[in-house]
Structure 1
Amino acid sequence: MSHSQPPRPPVKRKRGIILSTRGWQRLQAAEQRSVTQDNFGKSYTLQDLSERTALSPNTLARVRSRKVAVDQQTLENYFRAFDLLLTPDDYTDSETATLSNRQHILLSGQLPVDSPFYVYRPPIENICYESLLKPGALVRIRAPRQMGKTSLTARTLTQLREQQQFLTTITSLQLADASVFQDLKRFLQWFCAIVTQNLGLPNQLDRYWDDLFGNSYNCTNYFESYVLAEINAPIVLALDEVDAVFDHPEIATDFFGMLRAWYEKSRYGDAKSELWQKLRLVLVHSTEVYVPLNLNQSPFNAGLAIELPTLTLENVIDLAQRYGIEQAEETAAALLNLTGGNPYLVQVGLHHLSTQVVSLNELLESAATSDGVYANHLRNLLWDLQKYPELMSAFKRIVLADSAVELEPILAFKLQSKGLVKIKDPMIQPSCQLYRTYFQQALTTT
C-alpha cells in the first residue's frame, strides 16, 4: 500500500539583505550615467525604473529606501539593468544597514560623501566633474545656504581623487579669524599656509615671500615656484564660503583679481602656462558678488557657473521613498509647499517623519511654532537676523507685504545668501511658506 507524500510548500526566496553604502553609490552613479546618456538628463521615475528592471515600483522603493530587506535576486536584477554585476560588497544584512543608515543622517552641514540621502540634480554633478578634468579649469558654484553646495563639491572632489588621482583640497574662508582680514598681506599669507598644510607640504613662506614685491605677486610666486612645482599631479583647489571676503572690499579686489590672473595664466601659451594648467579652481559662494570688481579682473564672470536649484517634486518623492515614507507622493507635495524645495528643510521633515516622531499633519500644523521640528533652525535664523538690524527691518517688510517688494540690491543679496528670500528681479519675496509664517509672528513681536 503506497502513501502519497503531502505536497511541499513552495520554496520562499530568502529575504534579508540591503544595499550597502558602496552598492548604493555604484547604483546611483550608474543611474546618473544612464540619465545623462539615455534620458536627456531627466531623472528616472519609479515607473521608468520599473520598466527597465522588471521590478515593481513598490519593490524598487524598498530597495532605494535601504531600510526594508529584500532578496539577493532583486538586487541582481536591479544591477543588471544598469550593466552592473552585484558583488558581496554591494549589500549587507538588514540590522547592520539600518544602524549604518541612521548614523549617516545629519540634519545640518555637509552630507557625508557616502550618504544614501544625497539628491542628484543631473546634469550638474556630471558637468562639474567633466569641467574640472580640463587644464586650468574654473568652476563657480552659487546657491543660498544649506542648498547642497559643499556636499556637491565634496562628492566631485572625491570622484576626482579616486578616479583621476588628482590632489584636492577644500578650504572654507569662514575659518579665517577676524584678525586675518586686517590687511592683504596677512590674509594672503594665511591663504598660502592653509592650502599648503591641506596639501601636506611644509610651510615655506619665509623662503618665497619678499616684501620688496607686492602681496599678490608674492602669493602667486609661492604657488608657481613652490606648490605647483613641487606637486606633479593636477590640483583642485576648492574655496568654500568665499562670501566671507565680500565684507572686506580692500582685500576682495586684490584677492579675486589674483585668482582671475591665475586662471588666465594657464591660457597664455608661455613657458609657465603648463604649470598653471595643473591648478583647477572651485569657488563656492552663497550670494551675488556685491563688491565692485573690474570685469576683466573678476573670476566671477569667467569659467563655468553652476547655480543649484531647489528640489523638484520628483526629487522629494525619490527622497521620501529612500526614507521609507509610505505615502511618498502626498508627503512630498506637502513638504514642497511648506519648504519651497529647500534641501535642508526637506531632509529635516523626512527624517522626523521616518522615525515616526510626528505624523505629516502634526508636522505641518506645528512647523512654524516653538514646538515644531524646525524650531531650532528657525530660532537660529532669528538670532542671526537680530545681529543685523538693517537686514531684519528689510525682511520684516518682505514677510508682512501682501506681494513681492523691491529692495536695495545689497540687502536683497545678503538675505538671499541666508536662504530667506528668492529674487525675481527686481522683486523679492520669502523663499518658502515656513519662513513667511514664522517670521510674520516673530518680527511683529520684536
Structure 2
Amino acid sequence: MTIDELVLLLKASQATGLTTLQELILRSSWEGKTYTNIASEAHYGEERVKKIAAHLWQVLSNFYKEPIHKSNFRQTLENHPFSEAHQQLIKEFNRAATAISLEFPTGPVSLNSRFYIPRPPIEELAYAEMAEPGSVICIKAPKKMGKSSLILRLLAHANKQGFRTVTLDFQQADKAVFASLDKFLRWFCANVSRELQLEPKLNDYWDEDMGSKVSCSIYFQKYLLSALSSPLVLVLNEVDWVFEYQEITGELLPLVRSWHEQAKRVEIWQKLRLVLVYSTEILVPLKLTQSPFNIGLTINLPLFTKEQVQDLAQRHGLDWTDGKDADSLMAMVGGNPYLVRLALYHLVGKGGLKGDLGQLLQQAPTEAGIYNQCLRQYLLALRDEPELGDAFYEVINSTNYVKLEPRLAYKLQSIGLINLEGDRSTPACELYRLYFRQYLTKSEHFNNIHVERLRQENQQFLFLSSLDELTQLGNRRYLESYLQIEWQNSAIQNTPMSMILCDIDYFKIYNKTYGRAAGDECLRQIANTICNCVKHSLSNSSFSSSKNMNHSTGSAFVSSQRGDFRDESSRVLVARYGGEEFAILAQIDVTAAMDIAEHIREQVKVLEIKCEYPSIGGLPAAVLTVSLGVASVIPARETEPATLVNAAEEALYQAKRKGRDRVVV
C-alpha cells in the first residue's frame, strides 16, 4: 500500500474524513520526519501535532486490528495489501464526493481540487530546483496542458517555505509597453515592485548612460532583492508574447541568463528563483551562452498516460479499471488533460455515472459534440490566419508526417493543434483531424452566413470570458478593452475621465484567518456594495440629478452582472481589478469621483465584516475597511490610458501608506 492509497482509504472510511493537518502528519511521518519538523513546517505547536498524531495511530490500530505507532507506521502498512474491499470503499467515496465537487474544467485546477493529477516526478523536481539558490525553471507546453495548475502548486509550495512570490503575465502588458527595451524594462521593474508592495523607485536607480539592462539589474540587486529577507520566486508567464518583439527578446533573455550566472559569485542574486513559462520555441537567434532555456531545470509537460486517465476517471466516480473506456477516449483525444477532463465532466455531470461514452465520441468531431466550442475557436483562428490554416490543412490531410516552416509549426504547436518531433508535424489527436477535415476543405467556398454565425457565437464566448466568475463583474481584460474605447471617446468629446481603485485592507490576512469561503463571500459583498454605491451616485449626484436615469436595457447581463452602468451623460464600469482590488472607471470629474469613493468607503464599513487579527496592531477599525485611490484626467489622443491607471495606482499606494481606510486623490 502506498501513502496515497492510505490517505484515500482513511478519507473514505472515517465519518469526519481527514483534516489538512492530519493528512500532513501522515505524509510527513511516512517520510520519516520528526514531530518537531512537522510542527515547524505546519506552523503548529509541537504538542498539538503529537496529540493529533496519537489519535491517528489509535484510528489506524483500530482499523487494522494491530498496534500501529509512528516508529512502525510505514513498515507495517507498506506491506498491507490494498484489497478489493478497500478499492470498492474508495469507489463509493469517489462517487459521493464527485456528486458535490464536480468542477467544469476551466482555468487552473485549484489547490484543494480532487481532480488535479500529478505527473511524477515533475512536481518534486520543480520543488527541489526552486529550493536551489539562483535557480531557473523553464516550463514549456502547449495551451491547456496544465501549466497554470502546476504554477499554482509551485507558488503554494514557495509560500509554504516562507518565500516571496511574484507572477508577471506578459499577456497583460499593453502593446505600448513593447515600444522599446527601456519602456519594457521599466514596466517590468515597476510591476515587480508593486507586487512586492514596495514603492517604485525607478528614477533613483535608472541611469541613461549605463543603459536599460544595467539599470534594471542594479534596481533588482540594490533595491528589490536587498529589501527582502527571504528568497523571491519570480514567475514570468506567457513569455511567448515577448517572442513577438525580437529586439526586446534578444536583450531580455540574455539579461535573465546573466542574473542566474551572477548568483554563482554574488550572494544577493541567490535570492532570486526564476520560473519561465511558455508555449512555443523561440525563433530569435541566440547563442547557447545567452539563452536561459538551456540552464537549470527544463520541464516539458507530458500528455496524460493511460493510468493517469484511469485515475482521473476514478476521481469522477467512474469504474474504468479494465482500461477499455480509457483506450476509447484516448484514441480520440490522446492524453490532452483538458479534452480528457471535459469528457469526464460531461459523462458524470450530464450523463450520470452511466454516461454514454460511445455517443460522446461519435458526436465529438461534430457541431453537436461537447468539444464544439473550443473547436470553433480554433477554426476561427485558422481562418483569420490563412497561412496557418493552410499549414494545418496540409498536416491533417497527410497520411504520414509533414515538414512545415518552423514559424508556422511552432505556432500550431503552441496552441496545441499539432505534435512536433524534430521537424515532423502530426495532428495532436484524432479529434482535430476528423473535425477540421470537414471545414478546412471547404475554406475557399465557405458559406458567408455560416462564417458570420460562427463569429457571432465567438463574440458571445468572448463576452462571457470577460466576466469575473466570483463577483459577476467585468474582469481586468474587459476593463482594459473598455478603457481603450472610452479613452478615445473622452478625447474626442474633451470630457474628463476618472478611475477609482479600491483595495480591501489586510485582505490576505483575512483570507488566511477566516478561510477561503469567508474570503469569497467577503469579495462578493463588497463587489455588490460598490455597485450599489455607483448606482446610488448615478441617480443622486450632481452630474446626473437633473436627468431622467435610463440604464441600458439592451442586455440585462451587461447592466446587472458586469458592473456596466450608463446614463445620458456618463458611462461607469465597475470591474474586479485583481485579487482583492476593484476598479471604477467613469466619464466624470474628480469631484464626482471623490464623492463615489468616499461613499464606497463608508458603506463598506457599514457592512460590519468583523476582522480580528491579534498579530497586527493599529488596525484602521474593528471591521473590514477599504483604501481607495482616485485619479482624473481629460484624455488627449497623443497620451496613453496607462497614465490614468498609473496615477490611480499611485494614489491607492499613498492611501495604504498613510494608514489605510481613506481616499487619496
Partner of 1:320: 313
Which residue type is aligned with residue 118 of structure 2? Y
TM-aligned CA distance change 1:294 to 1:367, over 3 Å = same
Amino acid in structure 1 at the alignment position of 2:346: H
Q: Distance in 1 between matches of 2:29 and 2:282?
A: 35
Corresponding residue of 1:287 = 280
- 2:417 corresponding residue in structure 1: 420
| Partner residue of 1:215 out of 212, 215, 225 | 212
Query: What residue in structure 2 maps to residue 260 of structure 1?
Result: 257
One-letter identity of the residue aligned with 1:144:
P
Where structure 1 has 5 or more consecutive residues not aligned to the other structure, the ranges are 1-13, 35-49, 70-93
Q: Which residue type is aligned with residue 287 of structure 1?
A: T
SS at match of 2:289: helix
Tell me how far 1:389 sits from its aligned partner.
1.8
Question: Could you tell me how far apart the structure 2 residues matched to 1:368 and 1:428 are?
Answer: 21
Task: Give the equivalent residue in structure 2 for 1:354.
Answer: 348
1:18 Cα offset (Å): 7.3
Aligned counterparts of 1:187 and 1:330: Cα–Cα separation in 2: 52
- 1:67–1:19: structure 2 CA closer, same or farther, 3 Å change rule? farther
1:32 and 1:436, CA in 2 relative to 1: closer, same or farther beyond 3 A?
A: farther
Aligned to 1:246: 243
Alpha-carbon distance in 2 for matches of 1:384, 1:65: 43
In structure 1, what residue type is equivalent to 2:212? N
Residue 413 of structure 1 deviates from its aligned partner by: 1.1
Among 436, 441, 445, which residue is 2:438 paired with? 441
Letter matched to residue 364 of structure 1: L
SS state at 1:229 partner: coil
Determine which of 372, 380, 383 is the counterpart of 1:383. 380
Per-residue Cα deviation, 1:39-59 (whole angstroms, up to 9, x for no partner):
xxxxxxxxxxx9855443464
Counterpart residue number, 1:129: 127
Aligned 8 A contact 1:405 1:427 in 2: yes
Contact preservation (8 Å) 1:117, 1:322: yes
Question: Is the Cα–Cα contact under 8 Å of residues 259 and 269 in structure 2 kept in the other structure?
Answer: yes
Contact 1:142 1:286 in 2 (8 A): yes
> How far apart in 2 are the matches of 1:176 and 1:28?
44
Asked whether 1:343 is paired with 2:370, we answer no
TM-fit CA distance, 1:404? 1.0
Shift of 1:67: 3.6
Q: Which amino acid aligns with 2:291?
A: S
1:124 positional shift: 0.8
Are the equivalent residues in 1 in contact too, given 2:234–2:272 (CA < 8 A)?
A: yes
Mapped to 2, the partners of 1:24 and 1:367 lie a distance apart of 43
Deviates more, 1:339-348 or 1:56-65: 56-65
Q: TM-score, normalised by structure 1?
A: 0.80
DSSP-derived class of the 1:406 partner: coil
Residues of 2 paired with 1:172 and 1:254: CA distance? 18
- Aligned partner of residue 226 in structure 2, secondary structure: helix
Tell me the amino acid that sits aligned with residue 310 of structure 2: I
273, 278, 295: which one pairs with 1:302? 295
Q: 1: CA distance between counterparts of 2:123 and 2:92?
A: 22
The answer to whether residue 155 in structure 2 is matched with residue 161 in structure 1 is no
Instruction: Kindly provide the CA deviation profile for residues 81-121 of structure 1, in whole angstroms up to 9, marking residues without a partner as x.
Output: xxxxxxxxxxxxx6xx853x23xx24222111221111111
Instruction: Give yes or no for the alignment of 1:56 onto 2:49.
Output: no
**Kindly tell me: are residues 444 and 28 of structure 1, through their superposed partners in 2, closer, same or farther at Cα, counting changes over 3 Å?**
farther
Unaligned runs of 5+ in 2: 1-11, 33-76, 444-665
- Work out the CA distance in 2 between the residues paired with 1:309 and 1:401: 24
Give the aligned residue type for 2:181: L
Aligned 8 A contact 2:155 2:165 in 1:
yes
Q: How many Å apart are 1:200 and its aligned residue?
A: 2.0
Paired AA for residue 305 in structure 1: T
Q: 1:113, 1:56 → 2: CA distance?
A: 29
How many residue pairs align between the two structures? Answer: 384
Question: Corresponding residue for 1:333?
Answer: 327
Distance 1:390 1:218, change over 3 A: same
Q: Residues of 2 paired with 1:167 and 1:63: CA distance? A: 38
Q: Distance in 2 between matches of 1:58 and 1:308?
A: 35
- Where 1:344 maps in the other structure, the secondary structure is helix
SS in 2 for 1:161: helix
Distance 1:27 1:227 in 2: 36
Task: Work out whether residues 19 and 66 of structure 1, in 8 Å CA contact, stay in contact via their aligned partners in 2.
Answer: no
* Matched AA of 1:240: N
Conserved in 1, the CA contact under 8 Å of 2:95 and 2:316?
no
Normalised TM-score (structure 2): 0.54
Q: Distance in 1 between matches of 2:218 and 2:356?
A: 59
Question: 1:118 is matched with which residue: 109, 116, 119?
Answer: 116
> Which residue identity is paired with 2:180?
D
1:353 is matched by which residue type in structure 2? L
Larger radius of gyration: 2
Tell me the equivalent position of 1:395: 392
Task: Give the Cα–Cα distance (whole angstroms) in 2 for the partners of residues 27 and 354 of structure 1.
Answer: 33
Please tell me the residue identity of whatever aligns with 1:115. S
> What is the DSSP-based 3-state SS (H/G/I as helix, E as strand, rest coil) of the residue aligned with 1:296?
coil
Contact conserved, 2:13 with 2:89, CA < 8 A, in 1? Answer: no
- Does the 8 Å CA contact 1:166/1:236 hold for their aligned counterparts? yes
Supply the AA of the counterpart residue of 2:329.
Answer: L
Secondary structure in 2 matching 1:171: strand
Show the counterpart of 2:637.
none
Q: Contact 2:240–2:279 (CA<8 Å) still a contact in 1? A: yes
Q: Secondary structure at the match of 2:225?
A: helix
Give the superposition deviation at 1:331. Answer: 2.3
Q: Distance in 2 between matches of 1:356 and 1:224?
A: 54
**Secondary structure of the corresponding residue to residue 334 of structure 1:** helix
Q: Secondary structure at the match of 1:351?
A: helix
> 2:401 pairs with 401, 404, 410, which one?
404
The sequence identity of aligned pairs, in percent, is: 40
- Residue of structure 1 in register with 2:107 after alignment: 109
Q: Match of 1:282, SS?
A: strand
